[in-house]
Structure 1
């Protein structure tokens, strides 16, 4: 299928789903769109069995999109930069301790706990997965998704400090999760006997700290360019070029794209480009990126729903998917509760907050993209299906019930 046709159909489908939700269903944007996308994909699969011609274009669209490549190499940089640019950095600094603990130690704990639980509990359900692949599975679904989180918490009743913690955590933990995923993926290829810890440590330092350093440097460079001009159109083009150049450099230099664009976005979001002769340029730039963020969000979740056409085998994994959801919530709760138990004063999080942070830790397109990037193996289908179940449950069920969990937690606290 021609590239223009793919883009045109994707935009048209996104507009139709968005209109149907806004006009008739009236669910929160992200939740409504992905619900419609999943339902339409199921109908498409059923229709395709009886009359393939009717579902021809939607099926072709789904099968011609390289979801993993589009999300990880193209959309991720723009979405993370947009999210970071609009973060209140003053509030983020106040919550930096819990944000950094949850986005690093929390991800590692969640990966380990989920991997162990899935390996041993899975045996009780006749699900046999190698322990290394269980940890690999944990690494790709442990980080919370900044796109899903930002889309769902907009209409939530989260207290401001908890909203900032979950937002900041979701921005930073993708970088850590990706490094952990790449490391474990390498172990599956070479075997546990050939682990080079020095090489792994160098990889981690280069990916994480190299990405952050590049992001700050590029953000400063772009900021100085924007300060020196008055033309808003050029300012927008510089910001777009910033994201694209960071993504290109990171891909070729082996640095973390998520951490680099987040660092650049936070650096620029904290500094106004306004001057005496420029009126509201910074505010206008933030509004532009907010619009980009919302449009790409819609397209991303439409693509996520369409993946069901490509992953039709998930109907064989309802028990596995249900088990993965339960184990992921347990691993998420433990990954927050353990740091809170030992660092309660410095983190300023109580156990009522642990339940809220657990339920607000949503997964999204990045987890599916990473699962799709896995090389073919006997465990790939299980991991793909499990990831899809977690993501759909996370966005639809957790997203719709988040406010009820918040009210329940605070009601119990008051009692």
Structure 2
């Protein structure tokens, strides 16, 4: 199949699944797209078994041939993070910066240790070969909350502005920190000789470098935009900013995700308030909302279709269950201190539950798992990651609206559109 035919197929799936959801289900879009992708993968496998000479085999080969890590980390992530950052209230984020930064840094490191150590012990108890360094690789890739899934869940829930910003800000920044920690953990696991203290230094350098670069690029872009009043040109400049900042930051060896988030925060806050006309603000908002919705849908359709390439072994079911418990336990261990603070000092009902259950995992974790080199740990890490991600998006995604409604004091479950 040609690239155009593959894209036509994916867009057709997105449109059909979106129509069914809007017409009948009214579920979170991410959940519907993942389920639609998985369902279509099952149909393709069935058709290929029944009609081996049909076209299903060609479609399966095309899907298997998609480089999921490259699609996520190389193409989509920068635009999705930029779009997500533009939705965040920068002044409220500044007020909650201590909570956001501790959850995005110390929280990810602590979760990596808890999950990694726990999974290593669980694997030993189950008689599986998984060394501590490779278990920590899994802990590093699964600990960051997925910004795409979290932002979708936050939009669907009835949350206070404060908890909404904390979840959004944490998800936007901790994925960048998680990528750096994962890279360092992977280097240690494959015998790269990287000392843990050096790894922490790399995390700090890449994160701070990305933040400074993104703010500088966003400031410069806003000054350029402020000299004209042409919404088509200004929207194009914002698109160039998102792509350019992400690509150049990676070329410079600093965090592209943090750089593009910083640029998006400036564009969405200062740009919307002081540098753009009302017409430009409206077109800018509508453009990036559309980009966000389409890329989100495409990403989660791809995630569901990845069931075609995941090596499943029923004998690993015990490890998957242990990983689910560990990931949830680590998440609540990290967020409960802040949840207690918000509940006692600011009257935020069930804040710990909201922060814990709202920490969804998604495509970013799977992309990192797929990039793990082939070896004895590859199948264990990849299949376990997929199990946790599917549980997170389907179970947590479908129930987060009810948790948010409980937090808001709404006796009825929050409707999800």
Provide the C-alpha distance between the structure 2 equivalents of 1:98 and 1:350, rounded to a whole number of angstroms: 14
Q: 1:374 aligns with which of 352, 372, 375?
A: 372
Q: What do residues 356-393 of structure 1 show as CA deviations (whole Å, max 9, x unaligned)?
A: 21111000100000001111111111111111111111
Q: 1:4 to 1:391 in 2, by over 3 A?
A: same
Whole-Å Cα distance in 1 between the matches of residues 27 and 337 of structure 2? 35
- Per-residue deviation, 1:255: 1.2
- Residue in structure 2 matched with residue 40 of structure 1 by the alignment: 40
Aligned residue number for residue 71 of structure 2: 70
Match of 1:317 in 2: 316
Structure 1 residue 121 displacement after superposition? 2.4
Give the corresponding residue for 1:402: 400
Matched residue, 1:225: 224
- Relative to structure 1, is the Cα distance of residues 346 and 249 closer, same or farther in structure 2, using a 3 angstrom cutoff? farther
| d(CA) in 1 for partners of 2:266, 2:148 | 19
- Measured against aligned partners, the alpha-carbon deviations of 1:200-245 in whole angstroms (never above 9, x if no partner) come to 3552233111111110111111111111112211111111111111
Structure 1 vs Structure 2 CA RMSD = 2.5
Specify the alignment match of 1:246 in structure 2: 245
CA deviation after TM superposition for structure 1 residue 10, in Å: 1.9
Distance in 2, matches of 1:82 and 1:70, equals 17
Cα deviations by residue, 1:305-339 (Å, 9 ceiling, x for unpaired): 11001115365533322221111101111122356
SS of 1:313 mapped into structure 2:
coil
Q: How does 1:322-401 map to 2 (within 5 A)?
A: 322-337=321-336, 352-401=350-399
Distance 1:103 1:387 in 2: 20
TM-superposition CA deviations, 1:247-286 (whole Å, max 9, x none): 2212211111110000001111121357799443123212
Pair 337,349 (structure 1): closer, same or farther in 2 beyond 3 Å: farther
CA contact (8 A) 1:80 1:262 kept: yes
Give the secondary-structure state (helix, strand or coil) at the position aligned to 1:361. coil
In the alignment, which residue of structure 2 is the partner of 1:145? 146
| Aligned counterparts of 2:99 and 2:201: Cα–Cα separation in 1 | 26
Residues 249-264 of structure 1: pairs in structure 2 closer than 5 A: 249-264=248-263
TM alignment of 1:84-233, pairs within 5 A: 84-190=85-191, 194-196=193-195, 199-233=198-232
In structure 2, stretches of 5+ residues that fail to align are: 410-417
**Shift in alpha-carbon separation, 1:350–1:25, aligned structure 2, 3 A:** closer
Quick one: distance in 1 between partners of 2:49 and 2:38? Answer: 17
CA gap 1:24/1:198 in 2 versus in 1, 3 angstroms: closer
Against the structure 1 CA distance between its residues 39 and 225, is the aligned structure 2 distance closer, same or farther, given a 3 Å change threshold?
same
- Residue 51 of structure 2 aligns with which residue? 51
User: Which whole-Å CA distance do the structure 1 matches of 2:203 and 2:309 have between them?
Assistant: 33
Bigger shift: residues 392-401 or 36-45: 36-45
Q: Is the 8 Å Cα contact of residues 320 and 387 (structure 2) preserved in structure 1?
A: yes
CA shift for structure 1 position 110 = 0.6
Q: Report the count of equivalent residues.
A: 408
Q: Is the 8 A contact 2:316 2:380 kept in 1?
A: yes
Question: Is the alpha carbon distance of 1:7 and 1:376 closer, same or farther for their aligned partners in structure 2, counting shifts above 3 Å?
Answer: same
Secondary structure of the 1:271 match is helix
Question: Shift of residue 190 of structure 1?
Answer: 2.2
**Contact 1:226–1:235, Cα closer than 8 Å, also in 2:** yes
Report the equivalent of 1:31.
31
Shift in Å, 1:19? 2.0
Ranges in structure 1 where 5+ consecutive residues have no aligned partner: none
